[in-house]
């Protein structure tokens, strides 16, 4: 799967997603784009998923008829996310095209 990590998502998330093609919006070609422009360009370049930590994206963007799936993380705190790579990976594997999934803080999911 071709995946784009939003600017506010730690690049270390790529380690939770082996076997996928991972790009980061911290790269110069993506940096500073608005959410709407980022979504539009990501779809144009055939990304299947964008991972965000922005709690407002779904309220600020019209997500109807999007092809790209969106995974919203509960935090962008790298050390916390690193403890739950399996949880994040499992969520990515069950996403469908165009789906928006808010991944909440794990209550009972085992760490690493």
pLDDT tens digits, residue range 6-65? 999 999 999 999 999 999 998 888 888 888 888 889 999 999 999 999 876 665 666 677
Query: Phi-psi region for residue 71, left (φ > 0), alpha (ψ -120 to 50) or beta?
Result: beta
- Compute φ and ψ for 71, nearest 5 degrees: -110, 115
Answer for the pair 73, 9: CB distance below 8 angstroms, yes or no. Answer: yes
CB-side neighbour CA atoms (13 Å) of 40: 7
Contacts of 103 (CB under 8 A, 6+ apart): 71, 72, 73, 74, 87, 88, 91
Taking only the tens place, the pLDDT of each residue in 99-109 is: 999 999 887 66
Answer for the pair 71, 95: CB distance below 8 angstroms, yes or no. Answer: yes
- Compute φ and ψ for 52, nearest 5 degrees: -130, 165
Whole-model pTM? 0.88
DSSP-derived letter for residue 11 is G
> What is the pLDDT, as a whole number, of residue 111?
66
Short-list 9, 78, 10, 4, CA closest to 44: 4
Separation between Cα atoms, residue 95 and residue 100, nearest integer Å: 8
């Amino acid at each position: 799967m071709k995946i784009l990590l939003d600017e506010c998502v730690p690049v270390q998330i790529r380690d939770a997603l082996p076997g996928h093609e991972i790009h980061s919006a911290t790269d110069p070609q993506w940096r500073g784009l608005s959410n709407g422009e980022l979504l539009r360009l990501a779809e144009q370049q055939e990304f299947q998923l964008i991972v965000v930590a922005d709690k407002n994206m779904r309220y600020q963007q019209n997500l109807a008829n999007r092809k790209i799936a969106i995974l919203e993380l509960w935090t962008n705190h790298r050390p916390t996310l690193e403890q739950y790579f399996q949880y994040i990976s499992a969520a990515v594997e069950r996403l469908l095209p165009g789906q928006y999934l808010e991944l909440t803080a794990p209550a009972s999911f085992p760490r690493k």
